[in-house]
């Protein structure tokens, strides 16, 4: 071996850095992409509001009026988002969550407003859960001992599903984590001739500390916790099991929530799911980035972009994120 040959042998023959050399090269070989159509914007609408009300724990987010909601969904459609998920914040609550099934209640009114504004330019989605409407803040009705009554709650979910379908929802987001909720709602919709309405199962929804800011957003009245029906953060297989059950019951889409702390669950669900898999980048994930950026500890835009990209890379076909509009604008700039 000559000296020249010996010298060259000291250098690596495989150089992965060649594929990272320029922005154009990195775009060309990127394994994962994010597009506006893969983003869903959660929105809160406050009953009787005359002006948007800022949510202190979620800087940049508001409880909408009917007018500001219509303006925002029109912007979402123009930006090319995939959809919006609506949450209602009522002024009056009771033990049964009767406002959830009132045709003139805040959420059903908001659904009609949004569908009238954007038609089918967006997938108009409704949160199907009782927690925003009950005076005790739980996701279902309570029995005499103060426990959430699973099967009695399913009856309320059936009625709620039909009310939301009548209001124009394209997709119902079943977030209450009651056993059998997907099958119950699917059967009710089909029996009423509403087999056109899709069902999103919050299949792997964990009892997470990262929901904290959301509770301000919906003015939650919860006392206690939801650990008896939401999943234990210690359990990955349980999330996969719940997803399989929901698919068997007729879910059109399954979801993992939260996203960033549960990427292993998301990947495991995506590996076995026969239907689209979504993930919800929840309020605590949003607020942590906003707080760190406001303090100058991280650079805001790259952190947002990276966080959503990581969720997509783990297997999410779509991401619910409070940054959906802003991120979609950045993506359009790049293109």
The predicted structure's pLDDT at residue 123:
98
- Please tell me whether residue 87 adopts helix, strand or coil conformation: strand
- Please tell me whether residue 162 adopts helix, strand or coil conformation: helix
The predicted structure's pLDDT at residue 333:
84
Show the tokens assigned to 51: 């002006």
- 308 to 160, 202, 216: CA distances (angstroms): 31, 19, 23
pLDDT digits (tens, 9 = 90+) for 249-294: 999 999 999 999 999 999 999 999 999 999 999 999 999 999 999 9
Domain boundaries, the chain: 35-334
How confident is residue 7, by pLDDT bands cut at 50, 70 and 90? Answer: low
Catalytic residue among 257, 268, 270, 319: 257
pLDDT digits (tens, 9 = 90+) for 112-162: 999 999 999 999 999 999 999 999 999 999 999 999 999 999 999 999 999
The predicted structure's pLDDT at residue 224:
80
Which pairs from 59-67 meet CB under 8 Å and 24+ separation?
Answer: 59/287, 59/290, 59/291, 59/294, 60/290, 60/322, 61/217, 61/286, 61/322, 63/89, 63/217, 66/109, 66/110, 66/113
Query: Taking 90 as the threshold, does the pLDDT of residue 222 lie above it?
Result: no
Mean of pLDDT values over 287-305: 98
C-alpha span between 327 and 294 (Å, rounded): 18
Catalytic residue among 66, 70, 205, 312: 205
What superfamily would CATH give domain 35-334? Aldolase class I (3.20.20.70)
The residues pairing with 83 across neighbouring beta strands, listed in sequence order, are 40, 123
Percentage of the chain beyond pLDDT 70 is 97
- 110 to 38, 84, 96, 291: CA distances (angstroms): 23, 12, 21, 30
The predicted structure's pLDDT at residue 1:
55
257 catalytic per annotation:
yes
How confident is residue 4, by pLDDT bands cut at 50, 70 and 90? Answer: low
Query: Taking 80 as the threshold, does the pLDDT of residue 2 lie above it?
Result: no
pLDDT digits (tens, 9 = 90+) for 9-61: 677 789 999 999 999 999 999 999 999 999 999 999 999 999 999 999 999 99
Helix (H) or strand (E) holding 292, with range, is helix 283-294
pTM: 0.95
205 catalytic per annotation:
yes
The predicted structure's pLDDT at residue 13:
85
């Amino acid at each position: 071996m000559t000296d020249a040959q010996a010298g060259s042998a000291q250098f690596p023959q495989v150089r992965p850095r060649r594929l990272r050399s320029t922005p154009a090269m990195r775009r060309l070989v990127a394994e994962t992409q994010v597009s506006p159509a893969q983003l869903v914007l959660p929105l809160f609408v406050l009953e009787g509001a005359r002006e948007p009300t800022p949510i202190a724990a979620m800087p940049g987010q508001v409880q909408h009026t009917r007018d500001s909601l219509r303006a925002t969904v029109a912007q979402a459609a123009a930006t090319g988002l995939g959809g919006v998920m609506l949450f209602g914040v009522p002024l009056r609550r009771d033990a049964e969550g009767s406002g959830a099934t009132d045709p003139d209640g805040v959420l059903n009114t908001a659904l009609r407003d949004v569908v009238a504004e954007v038609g089918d330019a967006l997938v108009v989605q409704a949160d199907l859960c009782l927690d925003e409407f009950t005076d005790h803040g739980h996701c279902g009705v309570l029995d005499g001992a103060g426990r959430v009554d699973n099967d009695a709650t399913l009856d309320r979910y059936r009625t709620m599903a039909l009310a939301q379908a009548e209001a124009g929802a394209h997709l119902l987001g079943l977030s209450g984590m009651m056993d059998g909720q997907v099958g119950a709602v699917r059967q009710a919709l089909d029996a009423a001739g509403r087999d056109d309405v899709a069902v999103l199962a919050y299949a792997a929804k964990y009892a997470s500390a990262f929901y904290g800011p959301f509770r301000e957003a919906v003015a939650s009245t919860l006392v206690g916790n939801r650990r008896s029906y939401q999943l234990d953060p210690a359990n990955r297989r349980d999330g996969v099991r719940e997803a399989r059950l929901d698919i068997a019951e007729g879910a059109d889409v399954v979801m993992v929530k939260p996203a960033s702390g549960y990427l292993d669950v998301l990947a495991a669900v995506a590996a076995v799911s026969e239907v689209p898999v979504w993930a919800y980048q929840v309020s605590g994930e949003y607020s942590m980035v906003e707080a760190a950026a406001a303090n100058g500890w991280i650079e805001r835009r790259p952190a947002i972009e990276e966080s959503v990209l990581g969720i997509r890379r783990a297997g999410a076909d779509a991401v619910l994120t409070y940054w959906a509009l802003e991120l979609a604008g950045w993506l359009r700039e790049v293109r």
